[in-house]
Amino acid sequence: MNCYRCGYTSNNPITSHCCPACGGMIVTSELPESKQIFWESTPASQNPLKGLIDTLIQAIFNPDKLFLLVKRSTAGLKPPLLFGLITGSFGATTAFLWSLVTMNTLSGFQEDFAGLDGSTLILAPVYIFVQILLTAAYTHLLMRITRSSTTQFRLTLKTVCYCESAMVLNAIPIFGSMLSLVFWIYLLITGTSVVHSAGKIRVFLILSVPVFILVFITALGLIAALAGGLAATGLLGNIVPFFR
């Protein structure tokens, strides 16, 4: 057997799915679980926490391998959705707690802030579920429109679920929210690239160009609205002469 975490090797018959040296899940060529995502493997059903942690480690340090396993996965949608809800909810909770610490430090209105975000936190799993569905639909639709892939939607949905691994970075103080967002985008591009068999640059362009266009159109709309407002109040006529 071979432990992916600490490198422990042994030719003796295995009696457990856990490494005797570090406790990580073992990987052997004889076990069908070696071709499964840790979270979806048989050992994970007996020890969900270890399966969750090992999957998070793989998502952070070897995302290409993780999404290759996602592409080959024959498991249903329940395990990845549960994974996404757990990691996403954890990220939302830690971000909420850090926000309380920040508000407590900077002002005396932390109680009102906590009440407002506390209700939002309770509904976090619902928001995360909707976010996963919308992201998967957006990604899959663009990949199909550009004829970049014929991959089934369920694999795109699984990919987005495991991208929620990035949300655990919210546990890092101050910069956690920014890091989790950047890493989530990286995982989405990497996962879509692997699952849909497309280059990362191509995937990045396919997913980002519509966003840039939307931002550009929105900016033009705001500028037009601002100009219209100034013209309506007569201020525009007073401002123009200064530029002549």
How far is the C-alpha of 25 from the C-alpha of 18, rounded, in Å?
5
Annotate 179-203 with b (16+ C-beta within 10 A) or e (fewer): ebeebbeebbbbbbbbbbebeeebb
Q: What is the pLDDT of residues 161-203, one digit of tens each?
A: 999 999 999 999 888 889 999 999 999 999 999 999 889 999 9
Nearest to 165 by CA among 70, 97, 33, 73: 70
Task: At 4, list the tokens.
Answer: 């992916």
Q: What is the pLDDT of residues 73-124, one digit of tens each?
A: 888 899 999 999 999 999 988 888 887 777 655 554 444 444 445 666 788 8
**Domain extents for the chain?**
36-198, 208-243
Nearest to 59 by CA among 197, 184, 200, 196: 184
Nearest to 60 by CA among 173, 157, 182: 182
